[in-house]
């Protein structure tokens, strides 16, 4: 069964149906979108249960010729890493749809309500496609095409500075994308294999200098997307201006394409260059971790604050990817998923607050806990997940990244540890300023979360807590895939100085 094509097809058909809904019938459009996204979620779950973690690398594989004269294929397949990221995307979409129920109705929106929801569905199809693509050309097409719906979502439904933010986002991403296009074409012609299929291009480029140049072409595109310091400044603008739902998809899923691309393309296709550039990337990541956190502390706008925390978190992810140890790799992949849930919850709750008070400035809030305890409580849990409190799934991933990095790079890992303290400062200080203290007049009438909003937040928090205590299901899927990736990079696995567990295993055999 062509699972992946169906997964992409359903939202596309859904998007067409939603845009065909007659004018003035917004409710139907919303319900239809929600239904379609739930169907996709259900299909993905069915597919995920048929996935065999220890099985082949390219499961649910489909390959058709697309442009035969250039060796371009429509080729999709998933391994553990791609599967969990697709799962992240399809879980977030229905939540975002429900959370943005009234977001497109605002009078300042430039386009119709149904367009917004159709765009979400189009974006969903592309998000699935970009993670599933095993043909580099196809990946590139999705990578760039994803910008279009997001551009309209920010530019047409965003805040006051939406045009500036949308154009900045688009130009920044296009800049990176063009470098990648050059690298893609160069890879094709230098490899001389007449194909764009990623598995067939692994290990083909041997010349170190060529590897370095091609690596840079891919890497800069992904670094802009991720975003890695110093290519990050588009993110705070885009995230602050985008409607909350779009911000969730942008930071939660779209940016993950950058870190996913580093793992899948930069590491696998150009292992020697990746090792050559590792010190640089680790340095940039550590700078990003500390810098993002420090700048986040100084923010006055909560959406910008959350965006900067993400820059800090992306530093952790890239550090984990380039540490090239099994623990850090699994941690980084898990981090991509958890960060989607955690930041998603934070952005959505920030959106609920902004809808109520009409301001995204932290200073306009205070004492919310007194009038809206559920809102404040869920906000706190989401915040705690951002500061990686043990018991929440983000802790597992951050811990793995740090310990995995420590195996190879001691000093960067220790510096990154300070991110833990800084995270506590930015989250708890924001919470203190917004939720505690005396309640100002304008807040006194603030309603607590309604049923729809509770349904939006509950699954995210449940996932955060559930995977916090029991991350095994995710890790079991991720570990073999990371292992395979690291195998194609040819790194020596880490061995402890005094293997205290070895004897036990020996006795058991």
Partner 1 sequence: MEPAEIVQHSGGVIGVSWLMIVLPLVGAAVLLLGGRRTDRWGHFLGVAMSLASFVVAVLVFFELLGLGADQRRRLVELYDFLPAGTLDVKMGLLLDPLSISFALLITGVGSLIHIYSIGYMAHDPDRRRFFAYLNLFIAAMLLLVLADNYLGLYVGWEGVGLASYLLIGFWQHKPSAAAAAKKAFIVNRVGDMGLALGIFVIFTTFGTVAFGPVFAHASQASQGTLTLIGLALLLGACGKSAQLPLQSWLLDAMEGPTPVSALIHAATMVTAGVYLVVRSGAIFEGAPTAQLVVTIVGVATLLAGAIIGTAKDDIKKALAGSTMSQIGYMMLAAGLGPVGYAFAIAHLIAHGFFKASMFLGAGSVMHAMNDEVDMRKYGGLASVMKITWITFGLGYLAIIGFPLLSGYWTKDGIIETAMHHNPILGWLAVIGAGITGFYMSRLFFMTFHGRPRWDKDAHPHESPAVMTWPLIILSVGSVFGGAFLITGNRFMLFLSPAVGRPAELPSFAPFSVTGLVTLALVAVGVVYAWLRYGRSEVPAVAPRGSLLTVFARRDLYGDALNEALFMRPGQWLTRLAVFFDNRGVDGLVNGLAALIGGTSGRLRRVQTGFVRSYALSIFFGAALLVGAWFVVGNL
* Residues of this chain, 368-387, that bind partner 1 according to CB under 8 A: 369-370, 374, 377, 384
Q: According to the binding rule CB under 8 A, does residue 455 interact with partner 1?
A: no
Minimum gap (Å) between residue 335 Cβ and partner 1: 12
Q: How far apart are CA 219 and CA 244, in angstroms?
A: 28
| Contact by Cβ (8 Å): 221, 176 | yes
Q: According to the binding rule CB under 8 A, does residue 235 interact with partner 1?
A: no
Give how far Cα 158 sits from Cα of 111, 153, 172, Å. 11, 7, 18
Phi, psi of 400 (to 5 degrees): -65, -45
**Binder of partner 1 out of 9, 53, 437, 466 (CB under 8 A):** 437
What residues between 312 and 351 interact with partner 1 by CB under 8 A?
A: 325-327, 329-331
Select 348 or 416, whichever has its Cβ closest to partner 1.
416
Q: According to the binding rule CB under 8 A, does residue 428 interact with partner 1?
A: yes
Minimum gap (Å) between residue 193 Cβ and partner 1: 31
x/- track of binding to partner 1 for residues 81-110 (CB under 8 A): ------------------------------
Q: Is the peptide bond before 40 cis (omega within 30 degrees of 0)?
A: no
In the block, residue with structure tokens 């692994």: 202
Minimum gap (Å) between residue 298 Cβ and partner 1: 4
Select 6 or 502, whichever has its Cβ closest to partner 1.
502
What residues between 151 and 170 interact with partner 1 by CB under 8 A?
A: 168
Minimum gap (Å) between residue 416 Cβ and partner 1: 10
Considering only the stretches 57-65, 118-126, 145-153, 419-427, report the one whose residues sit in contact with partner 1 under the rule CB under 8 A.
419-427
Helix (H) or strand (E) holding 35: helix 26-50
Tokens of 473: 């299901």
Tokens of 481: 């895939």
Sign of the CA dihedral with 18 first, then 24, 30, and 31 last: negative
Q: According to the binding rule CB under 8 A, does residue 475 interact with partner 1?
A: yes
Q: Helix, strand or coil for residue 476?
A: helix
**Binder of partner 1 out of 69, 445, 492, 501 (CB under 8 A):** 501
Q: According to the binding rule CB under 8 A, does residue 508 interact with partner 1?
A: no
* CB within 8 Å of 90: residues ≥ 6 apart: 7, 37, 40, 41, 44, 124, 128
Q: According to the binding rule CB under 8 A, does residue 490 interact with partner 1?
A: no
Minimum gap (Å) between residue 328 Cβ and partner 1: 8
Minimum gap (Å) between residue 404 Cβ and partner 1: 8
Q: According to the binding rule CB under 8 A, does residue 446 interact with partner 1?
A: no
Select 331 or 351, whichever has its Cβ closest to partner 1.
331
Minimum gap (Å) between residue 146 Cβ and partner 1: 21
Considering only the stretches 76-84, 104-112, 138-146, 294-302, report the one whose residues sit in contact with partner 1 under the rule CB under 8 A.
294-302
Q: Helix, strand or coil for residue 110?
A: coil
Phi, psi of 506 (to 5 degrees): -60, -40
**Binder of partner 1 out of 242, 281, 435, 464 (CB under 8 A):** 435
x/- track of binding to partner 1 for residues 192-231 (CB under 8 A): --------------------------------------x-
| Contact by Cβ (8 Å): 36, 10 | yes
Minimum gap (Å) between residue 377 Cβ and partner 1: 7
Select 71 or 377, whichever has its Cβ closest to partner 1.
377
* CB within 8 Å of 124: residues ≥ 6 apart: 11, 37, 40, 89, 90, 93
CB count, 10 Å around CB of 66? 16
Residues in contact with partner 1, counted by CB under 8 A, come to a total of 74
Q: How far apart are CA 437 and CA 291, in angstroms?
A: 29
| Contact by Cβ (8 Å): 376, 413 | no
Strand-pair partners of 63: 75
Q: According to the binding rule CB under 8 A, does residue 417 interact with partner 1?
A: yes
**Binder of partner 1 out of 50, 161, 432, 487 (CB under 8 A):** 432
Q: Is the peptide bond before 227 cis (omega within 30 degrees of 0)?
A: yes
Q: How far apart are CA 318 and CA 397, in angstroms?
A: 13
**Binder of partner 1 out of 138, 400, 457, 481 (CB under 8 A):** 400
Residue whose C-alpha is closest to residue 305's, from 398, 436, 434, 160: 434
* CB within 8 Å of 471: residues ≥ 6 apart: 334, 393, 396
Q: According to the binding rule CB under 8 A, does residue 493 interact with partner 1?
A: yes
Minimum gap (Å) between residue 107 Cβ and partner 1: 30
Minimum gap (Å) between residue 43 Cβ and partner 1: 28
**Binder of partner 1 out of 24, 279, 298, 440 (CB under 8 A):** 298
């Amino acid at each position: 069964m062509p699972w992946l094509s169906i997964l992409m097809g359903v939202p596309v058909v859904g998007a067409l149906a939603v845009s065909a809904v007659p004018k003035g019938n917004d409710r139907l459009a919303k319900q239809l979108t929600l239904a379609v996204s739930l169907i996709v979620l259900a299909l993905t779950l069915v597919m995920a249960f048929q996935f065999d973690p220890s099985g082949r690398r390219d499961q649910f594989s489909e390959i058709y010729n697309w442009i035969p004269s250039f060796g371009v294929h429509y080729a999709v397949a998933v391994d553990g890493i791609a599967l969990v990221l697709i799962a992240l995307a399809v879980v977030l979409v229905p939540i975002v749809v429900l959370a943005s129920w009234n977001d497109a109705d605002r009078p300042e929106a430039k386009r119709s309500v149904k367009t917004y929801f159709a765009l979400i569905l189009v974006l969903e199809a592309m998000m699935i496609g970009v993670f599933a693509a095993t043909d580099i050309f196809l990946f590139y097409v999705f990578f760039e095409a994803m910008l279009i719906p997001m551009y309209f979502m920010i530019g047409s439904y965003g805040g006051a500075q939406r045009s500036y933010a949308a154009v900045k986002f688009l130009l920044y991403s296009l800049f990176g994308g063009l470098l990648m296009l050059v690298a893609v074409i160069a890879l094709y012609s230098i490899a001389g294999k007449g194909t764009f299929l990623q598995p067939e291009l692994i290990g083909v480029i041997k010349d170190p200098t060529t590897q370095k140049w091609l690596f840079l072409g891919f890497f800069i595109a992904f670094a802009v997307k991720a975003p890695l310091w110093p290519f990050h400044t588009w993110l705070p603008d885009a995230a602050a201006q985008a409607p909350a739902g779009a911000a969730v998809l942008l930071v939660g899923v779209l940016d993950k394409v950058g870190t996913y691309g580093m793992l899948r393309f930069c590491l696998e296709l150009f292992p020697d260059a990746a090792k050559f550039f590792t010190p640089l990337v680790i340095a940039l990541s550590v700078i990003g971790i500390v810098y993002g956190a420090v700048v986040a502390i100084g923010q006055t706008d909560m959406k910008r604050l959350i965006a900067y925390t993400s820059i800090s978190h992306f530093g952790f992810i890239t550090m984990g990817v380039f540490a090239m140890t099994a623990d850090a790799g699994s941690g980084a992949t898990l981090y991509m998923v958890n960060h989607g849930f955690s930041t998603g919850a934070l952005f959505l709750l920030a959106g609920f607050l902004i809808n109520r008070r009409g301001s995204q400035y932290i200073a306009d809030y205070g004492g919310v806990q007194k009038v809206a305890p559920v809102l404040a409580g869920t906000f706190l849990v989401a915040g705690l997940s951002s500061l990686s409190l043990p018991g929440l799934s983000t802790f597992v991933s951050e811990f793995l990244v740090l310990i995995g990095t420590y195996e190879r790079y001691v000093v960067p890992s220790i510096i990154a540890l300070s991110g833990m303290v800084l995270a506590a400062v930015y989250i708890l200080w924001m919470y203190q300023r917004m939720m505690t203290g005396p309640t100002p007049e304008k807040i006194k009438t603030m309603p607590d979360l309604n049923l729809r909003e509770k349904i939006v937040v509950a699954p995210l928090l449940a996932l955060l807590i559930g995977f916090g205590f029991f991350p095994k299901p995710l890790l079991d899927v991720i570990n073999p895939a990371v292992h395979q990736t690291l195998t194609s990079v040819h790194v020596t696995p880490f061995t402890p100085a005094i293997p205290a567990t070895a004897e036990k295993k020996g006795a058991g055999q």
